[in-house]
Amino acid sequence: ILSDFLYAEANIPATKTSVYRMTKGAIQGFLARVYLTMGDYPNASKYAKLARAGKPLGNGASLLTGFINPSSEWIYALNSRTDDNAGFITVNSFYDPFDIGYSSFRAADNFFNSFAANDIRLQQFKVNGVIGARRGQEGFLINKFDFSTTPAQNQVIIRSSEMYLIEAEAEARQGVANEAAAKTALLAIQQRAGVATVPSANTGQALINEILVERGKELYGEGFKFFDLLRTKTPVVRTAGNGHWAIVNFQPGDNKLVLPLPQSELNANPILKGQQNPGYSN
């Protein structure tokens, strides 16, 4: 993976600038993700900074526009055309609170309650003028992603917010000498959300935990949480006390956290004959 990305970074034309096309910045964003997952924190921070260069964060209001049209911080996105007819299979459809799309995803109590009253991102839970509307035991309705029955629904894949949070975490994990840089990157996200005006007072693991919490609040619904839990070896715990109606308790390394190899792939590839991920049978 690294060799492919590094080759692409070195060879892609600098003239490629569309957020809907692979660019040097997009490749650097993917590299930042890979290095963070590998635990190579100096390179994770380096590539996060490179990826977000020239892609400034928008103001708080930019977080309330539905995530379907490019903003200043979009680095890479999927452009859906009308003839793609992808409307109902997009992220937007599954989060839609109005039952226009599949309308399947909700926020649990503990997550909704983690937002401060002055956090502009709390407005992403505003439905029909009400912040904190519920759908029974399913949880709080989410209005972060705009959706309509129009088949063309663009999907943001990489944005500068993620890069700031990668930088913050990568710097914090390098120790005390790097904590000032971590706090500066974290403050950019918190300040835009309206929840902080000065750098965090936390240090050590408390600072890392704060960054991970902020990462969850900023990037929810964009496909990161499950993989963050895996890479940080954090238990996947869902309890009724936190408002979850599907109760799970998966510890790090649990077989259920990895899907089985598809039987069609096992049938098609003789090299995989007799192989399967732990906990599953052929």
Mean pLDDT computed over 166-185: 99
pLDDT above 80: residue 87: no
Q: What percentage of the chain's residues is helix, strand, coil (to nearest 5)?
A: 50, 10, 45
Please write the tens of the pLDDT for every residue from 27-44: 999 999 999 999 999 999
**What does the buried/exposed string (b/e) look like for 209-232 if buried means 16 or more CB atoms within 10 Å of the residue's CB?**
ebbbebbebbbbbbebbeebbeee
| Range among 88-97, 105-114, 185-194 rated most confident | 185-194
Q: Is the dihedral of CA 10, 5, 171, 216 positive or negative?
A: positive
Q: Coil, helix or strand for 181?
A: helix
- Domain boundaries defined on the chain: 61-65+78-156
Residues 63, 115: Cα–Cα separation, whole Å: 14
Can you read off the two tokens belonging to residue 237? 């715990």
Inter-residue contact 161 to 218 (CB < 8 Å) = yes
**What does the buried/exposed string (b/e) look like for 27-45 if buried means 16 or more CB atoms within 10 Å of the residue's CB?**
bbbbbbbbbbeeebbebbb
CB atoms within 10 A of CB 275: 10
Q: Coil, helix or strand for 127?
A: strand
Give the per-residue pLDDT at 149. Answer: 62
* Amino acid present at 181: A
Residues 122, 71: Cα–Cα separation, whole Å: 20
Can you read off the two tokens belonging to residue 228? 């963050």
pTM: 0.93
> Which letter does DSSP use for residue 90 in this model?
S
Please write the tens of the pLDDT for every residue from 99-155: 777 888 999 888 999 999 999 999 999 999 999 998 777 889 999 998 876 667 788
The angle subtended at Cα 49 by Cα 47 and Cα 54, nearest 5°, is 120
Inter-residue contact 120 to 59 (CB < 8 Å) = no
pLDDT above 90: residue 241: no
Q: What is the mean pLDDT of the chain?
A: 93
**What does the buried/exposed string (b/e) look like for 6-16 if buried means 16 or more CB atoms within 10 Å of the residue's CB?**
eebbeebeeee
Mean pLDDT computed over 218-238: 95
Residues 99, 82: Cα–Cα separation, whole Å: 21
Do you know the residue count of the chain?
A: 282
Mean pLDDT computed over 183-189: 99
Give the per-residue pLDDT at 91. Answer: 84
Q: How far is CA 31 from CA 48, 63, 114, 156, 252, in A?
A: 8, 25, 30, 17, 25
> Which letter does DSSP use for residue 96 in this model?
-
Chain Cα centroid distance, residue 216: 7
